[in-house]
Amino acid sequence: MRYKIIITGPVGAGKTTAINSLTDQKALKTDAPVSDMTTSQRKPTTTVALDYGVIRLNEEDVAHVYGTPGQERFDFMWEIISEGAHGLVLLLDNSRNYPFRDLLYYVNQFRDVIEAVPLIIGVTRSDIKNEPGIDTYRGWIKELNLDARVMVADARNKEHIYQLINQLIELRSQAVVGSVRKIDSSNTEQTKVETGIVNPQAFQEPRVRQPGADEGGVIAPVREAASLASTPMASAKIQLTEKSMAAVAKINGVTGVSLTNDMGELIDSTILDEDLNEFIAFLSGITPSIQEAANLGEIHRIMLRGVNDDNLTVFVEEEQSLGVTSLHKTSVPALSQQIEDMLQWI
Q: Hey, where are the domains in the chain?
A: 2-177, 220-345
The distance of Cα 84 from the centroid of its chain, to the nearest Å, equals 21
As a whole number, mean pLDDT of residues 60-72 equals 81
What is the average pLDDT score of the chain? 76
Task: Please tell me the class of the 2-177 domain.
Answer: alpha beta
The per-residue pLDDT for 297 is: 73
Task: Please tell me the class of the 220-345 domain.
Answer: alpha beta
| % of residues, the chain, pLDDT over 90 | 27
As a whole number, mean pLDDT of residues 206-220 equals 40
As a whole number, mean pLDDT of residues 175-202 equals 42
Q: Do domains 2-177 and 220-345 have the same CATH topology?
A: no
> What is d(CA 4, CA 287) in angstroms, rounded to the nearest whole number?
42
The per-residue pLDDT for 229 is: 34
pLDDT tens digits, one per residue of 283-316: 888 887 887 887 767 788 888 887 777 899 998 8
As a whole number, mean pLDDT of residues 208-232 equals 41
| pLDDT band at residue 179 under the 50/70/90 scheme | low
The distance of Cα 244 from the centroid of its chain, to the nearest Å, equals 20
For CA atoms 47, 253, 209, 134, the dihedral sign is positive
pLDDT tens digits, one per residue of 324-337: 999 988 888 888 88
Cis peptide before 132 (omega within 30 of 0): yes
Is the pLDDT at 70 greater than 80, yes or no? no
Q: Which amino acid is at 12?
A: G
- Model pTM score: 0.64
| % of residues, the chain, pLDDT over 70 | 73
| pLDDT band at residue 72 under the 50/70/90 scheme | low
The per-residue pLDDT for 76 is: 72
Is the pLDDT at 219 greater than 70, yes or no? no
| CB 256, CB 269: distance < 8 Å | yes
**Beta bridge pairs of residue 93:** 124
The per-residue pLDDT for 249 is: 92
pLDDT tens digits, one per residue of 94-127: 999 889 989 988 998 899 999 999 999 999 999 9
Q: Which amino acid is at 322?
A: L
